[in-house]
Amino acid sequence: MHISRFIELLERPEAQNRVFFLASKTKQYHFLACLHKVLAKQAQHINTLSCSDVGPKELMLNLSTSFLGQEQVWIITDIDELSPKDCKACTAFLEEYTGPHTILCMLAEAPKKCTQTTITLEPISDIATCLSFFEFFTQAMPAAQKQQFSLFFQQALSKQKNLCADQIYLLSTYALVLGKNSPQFFETWFDHIFQQKSSLFTLSAFLFEKNALAFADMWQDIKREYEPVFWTVFLLDVLWQAYLFLYDKKTGLSKEMRFNRLPFSFTRTDWRKHKIEHIKKLYQDIYQFDCDYKRGLTHDLKLEYLLIQFVQK
């Protein structure tokens, strides 16, 4: 579904009591914030519910009841963080939902039978869709500047084949102020602002997939972008979350944690490739490397050795 059609349906009374799926493998915080503002302008009562905070029974209960028949909008996130069984049950419930509310559910992949009510937030690869999201984010599209903004997103897509909704949001803020200076922006700043975050996420995915070749290639490409001190902080952070995730799978004691820095592939399947002892060992080794490096007792190649050794196990 086109984003403009989605907003049109939300604004029409006869479109109430509907379920819309927001398809994205990563959380789109800027999109959700803008969506909240749009709904607030319509004076709709909005609730946000994270499935990392409630179980499927509580989710279904909330969506099935209303106070004095009041219609509300529910924004549901983190449904993919449920167990496969619970995720399947909740998705099936939403597919057949006939309750009193409008539901906006963000998940990695929408049900195939619900394509007519699904908005794809990533990947976005055509200029027309980029412009529609731009208009949604800025709430304006001056006709005189449409060609200028079209050229702006054409340059963006030439630098990066696919964009997500939140990247379009960030680009929109630059497009409004850069004007004719956009070529210099794309030559100088685009790669640093937009591609490195994605690269870091992909790098950690290769690490946990134990894809040694892909990890080594990407590591060589981006390791010099940051100092070793940054890499230790970044790696210790994702390893700590991976440790807690595995600990939760083993004991069920860390249910309140949100593992928002872990690759989607790890939380769904790749966690099975790891033993909690191995994650703990790598964490300890990198921590020791950090201490030694700051005292001048080791070389930054030691970090590379630890990572390659881990993915090859």
How far is Cα 37 from Cα 51, in angstroms, rounded to an integer? 22
pLDDT at 260: 67
Q: Indicate yes or no: pTM above 0.75.
A: no
Distances (CA, A) of 23 to 18, 106, 118, 122, 165: 16, 6, 7, 7, 11
Dump pLDDT digits (tens) for 183-242: 888 988 887 777 656 678 889 999 999 999 999 999 998 888 888 999 999 999 999 999
CATH no. of 197-311: 1.20.272.10
Residue written as token pair 């992949």: 109
pLDDT at 151: 92
Q: Which residues are CB-contacts of 310 (< 8 A; sequence separation ≥ 6)?
A: 207, 278, 282
Dump pLDDT digits (tens) for 150-167: 999 999 999 888 898 999
pLDDT at 28: 86
Dump pLDDT digits (tens) for 262-288: 887 888 789 999 999 999 999 999 999
Mean pLDDT on 121-132: 91
CATH no. of 3-120: 3.40.50.300
Query: pLDDT over 90 for what percent of the chain?
Result: 42
How far is Cα 112 from Cα 81, in angstroms, rounded to an integer? 20
Please state the domain extents for the chain. Answer: 3-120, 127-188, 197-311
Radius of gyration of the chain (CA): 22
Q: What are phi and psi of 188, to 5 degrees?
A: -105, -40
Query: pLDDT over 70 for what percent of the chain?
Result: 93
How far is Cα 215 from Cα 203, in angstroms, rounded to an integer? 6
Which stretches within the chain are classed as H helix?
A: 3-11, 29-41, 56-64, 84-95, 127-138, 146-159, 165-178, 182-188, 190, 196-209, 212-222, 228-251, 264-268, 276-294, 301-311
Other Cβ atoms within 10 Å of 124 Cβ, number: 21
Residue written as token pair 């789109």: 28
